[in-house]
């Protein structure tokens, strides 16, 4: 188990409401570099909001978030530095329909990080090879299946050379036969030592791939444990009830 002071991603007592609806009610967690953390829980329990707060897409009302040496909750946050440090893959692929697969993957490092085009193009092709889609480099998103589009979205996140990637229910919109191909790519990334925070409904994947599983309910982290203990001996009644419905 990593020492607490080696945590790469830290949330301390994070609160977030949308209007009069509290979504996060004091969330604290620490994720070490190279760790795979899966966040599970019922719909509306705050899972996706945790991810969006980590990469500053959603500002917090109260609390503290740090990624490496970047204080995400600071007023002077450098968003470009944070985007370089933390990638995100969404449930909806968010690819540009009028750009080719290769353009989608390579665009952000060239435009946002101002990296050399030739260098980025080589990296983008290597990443498409990694997600087994190099033969689709010149295709447009509309010509791809949902699973292929999601793998392009993962390659796009990796092209920014982040130190961590957040995955927000990335298989939820996919047909069952496409889920496996996307989870295989995430598994490979995790094995290579990428810090991954994964919101998922895929319990088998969480059991197999995670170092730590977090269960959220009502805007709180109710239980957290390594997967062997989490799935075989849940301590909280809410966790037990949830697992009885999904396993």
Residue found by looking up tokens 């009502």 in the block: 218
Given this model, what pLDDT does residue 3 score?
A: 41
Residue 27, sorted as left (phi over 0), alpha (psi -120 to 50) or beta, turns out to be beta
For the chain, list residues with pLDDT below 70. Answer: 1-5
Given this model, what pLDDT does residue 6 score?
A: 77
Given this model, what pLDDT does residue 5 score?
A: 52
What pTM did the predictor assign?
0.94
- Counting the structural domains of the chain, the total is 1
Q: What percent of the chain has pLDDT above 70? A: 98
Q: In terms of residue numbers, what domain contains 190?
A: 4-246
Q: Which two tokens stand for residue 55?
A: 């990469």
For the chain, the straight-line distance linking the first and the last C-alpha, in angstroms and rounded, comes to 27
Q: Which two tokens stand for residue 102?
A: 């290769």
For 156-205, the pLDDT digits (tens) are 999 999 999 999 999 998 998 899 999 999 999 999 999 999 999 999 99
Three-class SS state of 217 = strand
Given this model, what pLDDT does residue 176 score?
A: 87
Helix H or strand E encompassing 82:
helix 79-85
Q: Which CATH number belongs to the domain containing residue 33 in this structure?
A: 3.40.50.300
Paired sense of beta strands 36-40 and 212-217, if any:
parallel
**Cα separation, 160 vs 15, whole angstroms:** 29
């Amino acid at each position: 188990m990593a020492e607490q002071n080696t945590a790469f991603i830290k949330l301390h007592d994070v609160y977030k409401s949308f209007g009069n609806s509290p979504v996060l009610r004091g969330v604290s967690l620490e994720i070490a570099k190279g760790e795979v953390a899966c966040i599970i829980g019922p719909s509306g329990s705050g899972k996706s909001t945790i991810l969006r707060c980590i990469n500053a897409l959603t500002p917090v009302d109260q609390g503290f978030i740090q990624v490496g040496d970047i204080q995400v909750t600071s007023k002077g946050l450098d968003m470009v530095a944070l985007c370089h440090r933390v990638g995100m893959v969404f449930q909806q692929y968010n690819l540009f329909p009028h750009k080719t697969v290769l353009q989608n993957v390579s665009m952000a490092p060239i435009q946002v990080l101002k990296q050399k085009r030739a260098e980025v193009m080589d990296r983008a092709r290597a990443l498409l090879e990694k997600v087994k889609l190099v033969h689709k480099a010149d295709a447009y998103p509309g010509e791809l299946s949902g699973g292929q589009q999601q793998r392009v979205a993962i390659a796009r996140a990796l092209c920014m050379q982040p130190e961590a990637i957040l995955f927000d229910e990335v298989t939820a919109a996919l047909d069952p036969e496409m889920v496996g191909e996307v989870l295989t790519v995430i598994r490979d990334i995790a094995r290579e030592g990428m810090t991954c925070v994964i919101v998922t409904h895929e319990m088998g994947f969480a059991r197999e791939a995670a170092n730590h599983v977090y269960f959220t309910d009502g805007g709180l982290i109710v239980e957290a444990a390594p997967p062997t203990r989490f799935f075989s001996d849940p301590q909280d009644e809410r966790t037990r009830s949830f697992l009885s419905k999904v396993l």
